[in-house]
Structure 1
Amino acid sequence: MDFSQLEHPEDRAIREKLDAIPKFKDFMMNTICVLREKFIAVEFVGNGVHVTDSCLPELHCQLLTVCEKLGVKDVPDFSLMWGYDITAATEGAKNPHITSMSGAVDILTESEFAFILGHEIGHQVCGHKPYHLFLESLYMPLINLVPGGEIWIGLVRSTLLNWYRISDFTADRVGLLACGDINVALRTMIKMSGAPKKYHNSLNIESFIKQANEFDTMFAGVAGKMINYISINTAFCPWLVARAAKLYEWYQSSDYAKLIN
């Protein structure tokens, strides 16, 4: 699959803008990413439960199934850590490693967890991880140890913060392809948004879609767009409602229909 066909247009545009900055990509790939990869390798050897064909083989099989469905040959490493949030994250660029909280496995159905895995694989196959690693390094002591690090903070921080959230819009599209059902994708987002477990059997997807559509129209004016921009860019990750709105919009578009057909 050519994953560039499903990239959110702002995702690609902002990365091209960053790559056009002289020496930025070389600095990112050959300095920050190399150091972060070494740090990550040490961290994950000593932490979490590694999912393999001999340890939690059912989960390992699910990862292989998602990769096969997406046409991804380089299967990432996969591990679990204790925590009851429905979250997962991918670390590493050359050697990606997906870490999921155990709560995501317990709370989500198999198809919903496929959306989570697909989302994380989406970051990998769409080339997001070097940029993620660089941005995350801006908030770590590591950046102060690298010659020229402080200069790059001033040059790219604002642009990277904006892009960081948009990259999830692209990854959600890959998640949808992995689970194959827009209702599954949206139901996963509802659960991630905070729906109590005892109500998971009665989730109202139509109501959530309505909320997502209202979110877009609510910030139509100049002042609203500015507030929305500032709020989202100071958040740790995109609001689930905003992500749902963007994913549903793409699902209804001709681009999605062409890709599926």
Structure 2
Amino acid sequence: MDIAKTLLIGLRADEFRHPLDFQATQALKQLPGLDLAVRNLLGPVAEQFFYLNNIASSVLVGKNQLPHLHKLLLEACTVLDIEPPQLYIQQNPIPNAYTLAIQGKQPFMVVHTSLIEMLTLEELQAVMAHELGHLKCDHGVYLTLANLFVLAAGLLPNWGTILAQSLQERILEWVRCAEFSCDRAALLAVQDPKVVMSVLMKLSGGSPTLSPLLNLDAFIEQARAYEDISKSELGQLLKTAQTQQLTHPVPVLRAKEIDRWASSKDYQSLLLKRQKEYNQKDNKMGGWRNW
């Protein structure tokens, strides 16, 4: 890599998991049989479906296929201390990336070509690290259910019973909370909050032509303005109504949240702790390594 980064050897998910993610996950675990049903019934079907789709209509990245992208993935995995998933590039005009792993089989990540076209390599690595965060935090079970709910809602807008709709709302709330943890994983991998916030800015209003012209400082000010809306009861009510059917928190909120965590003692202490542990292990091996 061009700049030295702290390697987070032995990193555990709960060391960076967002509190909202932890609370929402614990709430879903209280629903009897949900986890088991997804792992044993829905999970295998979803994994097989996506695997066939990837093999049939995507490009598998490796050392002999788009090696510069393969290198970005391996570097992010090294920093986050996680085994590399398969990486597929898929032709798609909608900028997006997603990952899935449920049954302990080979996990995979998919990145759309339109996303690659408007990001720098470092920003693309942040996207990969975000998806690695889902794997690190074992989000696969509930992500599968969330994707199924979104698919059903798209195909059948008035589908389901009141019970199913209530579960859908809880799952969507969980996945919005889980995204905060994955943004933190992206920050831990690139170790520059401006890179992560730049990705969120470009997802809001970027394109191959506009992305180089966007102003990150102005976007951060926009995020502060969005946060100020919560100070009124009406503003908070409108924000809740706006987001309750979304699978992701709005980008300006995510940018503000990552800016806040990057300035926190928790983030700085985590990097310092892991750097000390890495140096101690390296010294015992008779030297230390750079990359």
- C-alpha distance in structure 2 between counterparts of 1:167 and 1:175, whole Å: 13
Match of 1:64 in 2: 74
Q: Which residue, 193, 197, 205 being the options, matches 2:204?
A: 193
C-alpha distance 139-185 of structure 1, shift in aligned 2 (>3 A): closer
Alignment of 1:31-110 (within 5 A): 31-73=41-83, 75-93=84-102, 94=104, 95-110=106-121
Larger Rg belongs to: 2
Aligned residue for 1:89, secondary structure, equals strand
Match of 1:144 in 2: none
Match of 1:9 in 2: 19
Q: Which amino acid aligns with 2:128?
A: L
Q: TM-score, normalised by structure 1?
A: 0.89
- C-alpha distance in structure 2 between counterparts of 1:219 and 1:161, whole Å: 21
- C-alpha distance in structure 2 between counterparts of 1:251 and 1:58, whole Å: 28
Question: Which structure carries more relative contact order (alpha carbon 8 Å, separation 6+)?
Answer: 2
Match of 1:111 in 2: 122
Post-superposition offset of 1:5: 1.3
Contact 1:122 1:170 in 2 (8 A): yes
Alignment of 1:17-36 (within 5 A): 17-36=27-46
Match of 2:156 in 1: none
Post-superposition offset of 1:107: 2.4
- C-alpha distance in structure 2 between counterparts of 1:62 and 1:187, whole Å: 18
- C-alpha distance in structure 2 between counterparts of 1:47 and 1:183, whole Å: 33
Aligned residue for 1:55, secondary structure, equals coil
Match of 1:145 in 2: none
Post-superposition offset of 1:77: 0.8
Asked if residue 177 in structure 1 is aligned to residue 188 in structure 2, the reply is yes
Unaligned runs of 5+ in 2: 1-10, 153-159, 273-291
- C-alpha distance in structure 2 between counterparts of 1:96 and 1:225, whole Å: 38
Post-superposition offset of 1:103: 2.5
- C-alpha distance in structure 2 between counterparts of 1:60 and 1:188, whole Å: 19
Backbone CA RMSD of aligned residues: 2.1
Unaligned runs of 5+ in 1: 142-148
Match of 2:148 in 1: 137
- C-alpha distance in structure 2 between counterparts of 1:133 and 1:20, whole Å: 18
Asked if residue 164 in structure 1 is aligned to residue 150 in structure 2, the reply is no
Q: TM-score, normalised by structure 2?
A: 0.80
Number of paired residues?
Answer: 253
Post-superposition offset of 1:202: 4.5
Asked if residue 246 in structure 1 is aligned to residue 257 in structure 2, the reply is yes
